[in-house]
Structure 1
Amino acid sequence: MASSWVGQWRSSAWVVSTCLLVALLTCTLRCSECVTLSNIILILTDDQDVEMGGMTPMKKTKELIGDAGVTFSNAFTATPLCCPSRSSIITGKYPHNHLVRNNSISGNCSSTAWQKEAEPFAFPVYLNKMSYQTFYGGKYLNQYGSKDAGGVDHVPPGWDQWHALVGNSKYYNYTLSVNGKEEKHGDNYEKDYLTDLVLNRSLHFLEERSPNHPFFMMLCPPSPHSPWTAAPQYQQSFSDVKAPRNGSFNMPGKDKHWLLRQPANPMPNSSIEYLDNAYRRRWQTLLSVDDMVEQLIKKLDSIKELNNTYIFYTSDHGYHTGQFSLPIDKRQLYEFDIRIPLLVRGPGIKPKQTLQSPVLNIDLSMTILDIAGANLSTVNMDGQSFLPQMAPWLRNGTERPFFLVEYTGEGHSSEDPSCPKLGPGLAECFPDCVCEDAFNNTYACVRVLKDANLQYCEFADNESFVEVYNLTSDPHELENIVKKVDPALLQIMNQRLIKLQSCTGDSCRNIK
């Protein structure tokens, strides 16, 4: 009897132990599943400045993202031109490492070489491997979808849903690549207006996604890029607005590099009327983006994902309208072209913060991957996560003391027949022979914000031109102080620039 009782006890104990083990494993599995990865949305506008009032029309965006999270007051692009800048965002690299020089195929914009060498290592590939559901909508790279770039059949790796604009920004009469298939659009506002189409397809993606996996969306409306076509309901908005007349507006570039010494000063009235019109129309197009942000956040709230979603709002670079007598464009080294808006909200980010930490657009990819839980030590990128600045209680991190801004000028080999006195090598010329770019508009700058507020730039031209600005005493960069600065400081800045121009990966983050 005793032996039978012991046997039964052992049997019962084994059953209880087994049940406890199963319960423990089940609990552990459930606990691992309860660590929910956050969703991420990146909204990237085209040519939206911050220095010239470019965020003024964005009342809803500032309230729904900025007031709900953080606004960075020192956000910069690594290069002030569309395709190189967007390539920096996608790869997390400075232009000297991703090798996109300008907006042309010959400048490596969406070239077949770029597709083979850069796209497989872009941040969406990492997200997709981490089970993120991914959606892209809007402008990608300026040459995307062209015959020389592989046509609309090419869909970059890492994207589950691909709704990308073929070529440069348009609002109507464009072609999309929809998951590798050509889709043509006309000029019907309800069906074709690109900003609204990007929004509507992103909302559809949110409805159709699997709730079992996180999502990443990158939404790239054309606003406020030319041709500045506003939605019908906004075409009369801002009728009395003019470009700001303060700072460097309509000022001569007498002590600046060759290109800025060429424009006539003061500008003719025709140029001022033109740039004022462009300024108003840019703002008009942004009102639809502001609506996009509002509708997107309402949708996230309705599907109960808002509190688990990081939303980034930024632009590829800044813009100018009359600064130093240049009518309209980007491409220059000055604050109006290199500063960008950057607003972020999300889990763990306290509301109504304004941070002065310097942030670059090459940091976006590393920050997004950091949020997603990637092992950043395995990622070959030049940027660094700014999650520690947004939410120091989530991450430890350091700020960079200085950073690089670089640009490769573009020009035509032959002279413009209407402007023979300027000679060959220029581009983006207006009828009055004011040109916005040239081969010798090739420069590299060190921008310092810690301990001093300086910019030091060297040009690759036959003058070996150097520009230096103290932005504390001269925030509009009116006076080039290169001849007044202590030569020892110039030497320090030159050495920093040399190191930055050759840096890659970790070395870009560790230069002292």
Structure 2
Amino acid sequence: MKSLNPFLLLLCLQSAAFAADKPNIVLLLTDDQDLLLGGMSPMSRTLAFLSDGAYIRNFFVNTPVCCPSRATLISGRFPHNFLYNQSAGKSDLPACMHMNATSSDFEEKSIGKYMKKLGYRTGQFGKYLNSGGVKPYCKDSVPLPGFDRWFTMCNTGTYYGNEITDNGKFRTYGHDPSDYLTTIIANATVNFLEDVLKNKEEPFFAYIAPHAPHVPATPAPEYENVLPYMMAPRSPIYNYTVTDHHGIMRLQSPMDPYQISPQIDELFQNRWRSLLSVDDLMMDVINTLDQHKQLNNTYFLFTSDHGYQLGQFNLPSCKLQPYEHDIRVPMFVKGPGIAKSSPAFVAGMVDIAPTIITLAGGTPPDSMDGQSFENMIKKSGWGSDKRESTWRDKHTLEYWSLGDVIRYQHYIDGPNNTYIGVRLVNETHNYLYVEYYENNNQRYFTEPAVECELFDMSVDPYQKVNLYGTDKEDKNLVNELHSFLQKQLMCSGSNCV
């Protein structure tokens, strides 16, 4: 038997040591999980586990709809930087809610690709993009870009009878209890972790994205009858009519008794029930890492692709609006060196990919529009006052209407619901400013806005009163925020900071 070349042996030992020093990273992304309606409550064990990490209080999505928000996370870029050419009337590649998320440019700048370059074993489990965004990969022998192991949903909106692209094999699942979507995602995730950890040669990045609690929010068999008699929270804007908000909102008639119960209340119950399985999934991941003594060498990030509404402003069920219940989402980070804290700085979906890259020891590429908030939540580094004073206080919102969308006999989307906005939060200001446009063919929003909204959230946290055009409007502030938005909509990469 030939002996190993000493130089090669040294390289192998250095490589193994390098891998051992690198942290593992778990990203758990839920679908439609609200924060303001108590959506975190069902995941009590996950919350307990994350409680000694950082909870980022002012964390927002950049666009409150599934595929664009997920593409923002995957790329670290604002939606306007991968919007397809709408002026041409069609996309050269499959569009995912106006996003060109299957181009080679998008694929090469995705988080999986960057983590591979940093020496990570990568796995993706569950919902990556909506069906239009994953269609090119839902064929035999077609890899999901940047991932060594993938178990990715090809159809959306169902918890049984799923179509999955499983490491290059297109598979269909049935309707037995063992085919429940969150269960098969959990099993595939644990198998990946076991495979990686038994060799202990590479750190791993696991991107886990269950479908829950997205409608129809079907619970697993063991949870079908738990949490009886629950009602959706009756917040101050529940079944509340407004006359000074933008067009879609003014059109909303009060919800009738049937829309309220059983429809909304039953959906609320099932959303919580479906999240109990996500809590189980998270415990499976934690227990697997604990068995392999990797808990202390793993970062956990937990968030949702956007928030949700259940009756707010008479909107029965959905998202798509710039208001707090749709854009504010949970964001927890736990891992080596992360301080137990609840910082008030403003961050968003566009910042997740840069943060993951720096946690892995890398440097975010210039193409990314977001910033890493690693230093904002680490125990070491700057003092907290300096950190928050040097971080931005504005968060950009972008949304292109999907056309007429109806839920429970209510229009939740349509004309005049394409918008850009900014969420401003600092020690002296807490505002939402939004500009609405007539059609969804806007790219740089050079046409005049047809309507605007301004809310002072420090005195009006539920956004009941639109100050724009009233004697309480701060015109200097509006001009400042308008100018900021016009610059942001042209930005790319480092000039977005």
- Give the TM interval when normalised to the shorter protein: 0.7 to 0.9
What is aligned with 1:446? 422
Q: Partners in 1 of 2:316 and 2:19 — Cα distance? A: 55
SS in 2 for 1:447: strand
Give 1:114 shift. Answer: 2.5
Match of 2:402 among 410, 426, 448: 410
2:84–2:99 Cα contact (<8 Å) kept:
no
Q: 1:84 to 1:505 in 2, by over 3 A?
A: same
What is aligned with 1:460? 437
Q: Partners in 2 of 1:327 and 1:204 — Cα distance? A: 39
Q: Deviations over 1:358-414 (max 9, x none)?
A: 1101111000000111123x3410111111111051579642121201100121xxx
Q: 1:146 to 1:309 in 2, by over 3 A?
A: closer
Q: Which amino acid aligns with 2:329?
A: I
Q: Which amino acid aligns with 1:389?
A: M
What is aligned with 2:3? none
What is aligned with 1:177? 165
Q: Which amino acid aligns with 1:296?
A: V
Q: Which amino acid aligns with 1:473?
A: V
Q: Partners in 2 of 1:100 and 1:57 — Cα distance? A: 38
The total of aligned residue pairs comes to 462
Match of 1:202 among 177, 185, 189: 189
Q: Deviations over 1:429-484 (max 9, x none)?
A: 1453x111013200111110013000110001287100000000000000001122
1:382 aligns with 2:369: yes
Q: 1:69 to 1:259 in 2, by over 3 A?
A: same
- RMSD over aligned CA atoms reads 2.4
2:339–2:379 Cα contact (<8 Å) kept:
no
Question: TM-score under structure 1 normalisation?
Answer: 0.85
1:226-305 equivalences under 5 Å are 226-265=215-254, 267-273=255-261, 274-305=263-294
Q: Partners in 2 of 1:131 and 1:53 — Cα distance? A: 38
What is aligned with 1:3? none
Give 1:292 shift. Answer: 1.2
What is aligned with 2:298? 309
Q: Partners in 2 of 1:431 and 1:366 — Cα distance? A: 39
Q: 1:38 to 1:461 in 2, by over 3 A?
A: same
Match of 1:332 among 321, 324, 344: 321
Q: Partners in 1 of 2:33 and 2:280 — Cα distance? A: 16
What is aligned with 1:9? none
Q: 1:113 to 1:475 in 2, by over 3 A?
A: closer
Q: Deviations over 1:155-192 (max 9, x none)?
A: 232100011000224211011001121111001112x1
Match of 1:89 among 57, 67, 73: 73
SS in 1 for 2:205: strand
Match of 2:38 among 45, 53, 58: 53
Q: Which amino acid aligns with 1:444?
A: I
SS in 2 for 1:354: coil
Give 1:203 shift. Answer: 1.1
Q: Deviations over 1:42-74 (max 9, x none)?
A: 000000010111111111111011x13111111
Q: 1:356 to 1:92 in 2, by over 3 A?
A: same
Q: Which amino acid aligns with 2:156?
A: N
Q: 1:491 to 1:393 in 2, by over 3 A?
A: same
2:55–2:333 Cα contact (<8 Å) kept:
yes
1:158-177 equivalences under 5 Å are 158-177=146-165
Q: Which amino acid aligns with 2:411?
A: C
Q: Partners in 1 of 2:316 and 2:100 — Cα distance? A: 34
SS in 1 for 2:103: helix
1:492 aligns with 2:468: no
| Structure 2, gaps ≥5 residues long | 1-6, 440-448
SS in 2 for 1:406: strand
Identity of aligned residues (%): 36
Match of 1:75 among 59, 73, 97: 59
What is aligned with 2:443? none
Give 1:286 shift. Answer: 0.3
What is aligned with 1:219? 208
Q: Which amino acid aligns with 2:450?
A: S
1:175–1:185 Cα contact (<8 Å) kept:
yes
What is aligned with 2:380? 393
Q: Partners in 2 of 1:208 and 1:35 — Cα distance? A: 16
| Structure 1, gaps ≥5 residues long | 1-21, 412-426
What is aligned with 1:320? 309
Q: Which amino acid aligns with 1:407?
A: Y
Match of 2:180 among 193, 202, 225: 193
Compare 434-443 and 214-223 and name the one that shifted more: 434-443
1:436 aligns with 2:412: yes
Q: 1:370 to 1:402 in 2, by over 3 A?
A: same
Give 1:223 shift. Answer: 0.4
